[in-house]
Structure 1
Amino acid sequence: MTIFSTAQHIARTTRRDPRGHMIPLMLGCAVASGAITLVAYLLWPTWEADVSSAPARLPVSIGATIFNVPPTAVRMKIQRHSGPQERVDLSFSFPSLEAPEAPKHFSADTVEDAIQPIDRIFVSISAHHDSLAPDTRVRTIYPRYLEQAAAPAQDGLTERAFRDGSPYGNEDLFLADAPGLNARCTRDAATPGMCLSERRVEGADLMFRFPRSWLAHWRDVADAMDRLTQQLHGPKG
């Protein structure tokens, strides 16, 4: 009705003064433009800018066992989805145990400057398919390949060397009771030594990897593995 009345008014004004229709026409255009702008604002999609809708945790099933993993901690993009999976590889900042930020990209000129000490603990969760349990391996398999002599315990941590020529040559086994810790570590050489510690949670095995140098504060490392296990799966039953 407003547009129709405006048109009638313009027609009457034009007959009296051919130039008199300009002002009403400009007013009509301004009103129409404002209406279009308002409708466009109200209908403009805003969901793309809402990054808070991303899930804080992804429920994944590994070995028929449910784990809740932070999406940003998943190291491989193909694994970054919920549902059944055979394996998921994660990393967490240490000692905060927060999911790390997205990696930065470096050029060939700056890659040497980008090399930094490892500050992450890596976790791989995989279905074990009834293979030998990690704690059973520590009790029954590893002792077959250890040197007879054991180094004196340092701050509650015992170190045993594997024999040269054995399947675990150039590695050492570290054991502690309180808190519980077992880790098989390579020795420092051209590259820093790394440690591997495993534990079983229902149908899946968790494999933790971290620098051997962290064993200077082994209680913090043992606590970190306990905390990550609880964060990913829940408290021990």
Structure 2
Amino acid sequence: MTVFSATSPRSSKTGARTSARARSHLVPFALTGVVAAGAIALVAYLLWPTWSTSGVDTPDKLPVSVGGTLFNLPVQAIRMKIQRHSGPQERIDLDFLYPSLQAPNGPRHVTADTVDTAMQPIDRIFLSIAAHHDALSPEQRTTTIYPRYLDQAATAPDDGLTMRPFRSDTPYGSEDLYSASFPALAARCTRDAATPGMCLSERRVGAADLTFRFPRSWLSQWRDVANAMDRLTAQLRGPKG
């Protein structure tokens, strides 16, 4: 018996034309995908940082403007990653190893083995730089505001450093004010309690206020602390231009 194919020449030609048209329609989609992938790759390349945290191209310092005053800040000393960029900023927070005043290699981590041990001594001096927007200067607060709240009694100068407590019924009731003339120092310090007392010392540089924080116990060597704050202020200042 002779068997005839069910597919006619016309059907074969129609299928071939349909397949060709389908392939021709896929070409633009494929080209569009290639172009889009290339564009994404180009954008990623242009936006990718040009320095790494471990390469030789890592910048050691960043020029940062706070309130219009320029500072050159060590990258590793900036505490928050979101602040690690150049340009104008409203506030920036740093810390430095003391007494070397070097930028720390990284944050100190608490582990399960150390969390229950005695509190480790603080080995850093903390610094915040913020635009002051013409607020009362640190010197004015020390000479005109704080005296209103101080107890009348003052301790005799100890190695050139005078301490006066704030009255308990004032906003600074749990603090003391330390002052010295040479080197100049004014520091408001909390008293030792469940946690060690901390001191706050401020100074104004251009349109920014610098606020230093350090342990109260360091005041036993207060001249070293005062000189360290002076050195940091000078080191971080950008060109005055």
TM-score range, shorter chain: 0.7 to 0.9
* CA distances 1:95-138 after superposition (whole Å, capped 9, x unpaired): 00000111254433443349420010000000000000000100
TM-score, reference length from structure 1: 0.76
Aligned to 2:125, what secondary structure does the other structure show? strand
- 2:147 matched to 1:158? no
How much identity, in percent, do the aligned residues show?
Answer: 68
Aligned pairs for 1:112-131 (under 5 A) are 112-113=116-117, 115-131=119-135
Aligned pairs for 1:1-237 (under 5 A) are 51-113=55-117, 115-233=119-237
Amino acid at match of 2:162: T
Q: CA deviation at 1:48?
A: 6.6
Q: CA deviation at 1:178?
A: 0.5
CA contact (8 A) 1:63 1:86 kept: yes
Q: Can you give the 5+ residue segments of structure 1 that lack an aligned partner in the other structure? A: 1-46
Query: Structure 1 residues 114, 57: closer, same or farther in 2, change over 3 A?
Result: farther
- Counterpart CA distance in 1 for 2:240 and 2:157 is 28
- Counterpart CA distance in 2 for 1:73 and 1:188 is 27
- Counterpart CA distance in 1 for 2:120 and 2:72 is 29
- Counterpart CA distance in 1 for 2:126 and 2:198 is 11
Aligned length: 191
- Counterpart CA distance in 2 for 1:197 and 1:232 is 17
Amino acid at match of 1:57: K
CA contact (8 A) 2:52 2:58 kept: no
- Counterpart CA distance in 2 for 1:234 and 1:155 is 34
- Counterpart CA distance in 1 for 2:73 and 2:188 is 25
Amino acid at match of 2:161: L
- Counterpart CA distance in 2 for 1:66 and 1:197 is 21
Q: Can you give the 5+ residue segments of structure 2 that lack an aligned partner in the other structure? A: 1-50
